[in-house]
């Protein structure tokens, strides 16, 4: 059983849902990233997602793309990220997964990436640009190593393909709320809840919703329908907007924002 499996077993036994914030590694620097991850967990995040900066992200909107560009401009490397996580994760108190391009994993070598990530305390990977048809070797390796390979299902994924993705996935399924890229949205599709409910009936894996979630009203609408909610662009935007302020002030404001979302989960 992976750390993510254990987390969702615990949450389900308690009748709770997971709030899962996304943070870009190295924006504005890795020291701040570590501080922010600690604060998010202290404020109640059940699991954290850490974006590994990449020059050509497949699904990220302008806010997260800009954060990747800033981090890459500061010469952030995978080795630096994993070294930071190796110091951070033993006392973090919540699982952490990387959002990482398959190009980065492939360049490292599948076994080497999983081995290095596990040694740094990482519980799994979300690989948005890995097609189902090419995911077999990595999925098999991850199952063998109790390292979760989170797969994405979108509103345009045919249902037979969604079932095949669920069979290949581990940890949880990342349900993309809208067709398109990441980013904050005022409204979410009305059919979203029905689509997620269908998928949850088909698989024992937790189903967590991401893309566009940024407001307490989104959380109130979606929390009953899913096992977890992912909030990314709204946090990354706040980091960028507050970058000129003292670190403690930024952490306090983002912590307050996460608290508002957690309160909406009930």
Catalytic annotation, residues: 49, 60
Q: Tell me how far apart the alpha carbons of residues 135 and 148 are, in angstroms, rounded to a whole number.
A: 13
Task: Give SS3 for 46.
Answer: coil
Phi, psi of 111 (to 5 degrees): -65, -40
């Amino acid at each position: 059983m992976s750390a993510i499996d254990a987390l969702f077993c615990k949450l389900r036994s308690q009748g709770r849902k997971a709030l899962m914030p996304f943070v870009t590694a190295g924006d504005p620097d890795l020291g701040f990233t570590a501080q922010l991850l600690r604060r998010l967990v202290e404020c109640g995040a059940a699991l954290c997602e850490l974006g590994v900066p990449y020059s050509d992200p497949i699904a990220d909107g302008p806010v997260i793309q800009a954060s990747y560009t800033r981090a890459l401009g500061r010469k952030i490397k995978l080795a630096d990220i994993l070294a930071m996580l190796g110091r951070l994760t033993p006392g973090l108190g919540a699982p952490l997964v990387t959002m990482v391009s398959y190009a980065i994993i492939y360049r490292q070598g599948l076994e080497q990436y999983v081995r290095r990530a596990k040694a740094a305390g990482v519980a799994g990977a979300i690989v948005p640009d890995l097609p189902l048809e090419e995911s077999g070797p990595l999925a098999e390796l991850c199952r063998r190593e109790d390292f979760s390979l989170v797969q994405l299902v979108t509103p345009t994924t045919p249902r037979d393909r969604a079932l095949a993705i669920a069979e290949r996935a581990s940890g949880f399924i990342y349900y993309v709320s809208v067709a398109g890229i990441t980013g904050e949205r005022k409204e979410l599709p009305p059919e979203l809840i029905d689509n997620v409910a269908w998928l949850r009936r088909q698989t024992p894996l937790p189903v967590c919703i991401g893309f566009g979630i940024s407001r307490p009203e989104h959380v109130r609408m979606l929390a009953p329908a899913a096992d977890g909610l992912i909030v990314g662009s709204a946090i990354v935007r706040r980091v960028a907007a507050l970058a000129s302020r003292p670190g403690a002030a930024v952490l306090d404001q983002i912590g307050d924002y996460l608290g508002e979302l957690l309160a909406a989960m009930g």
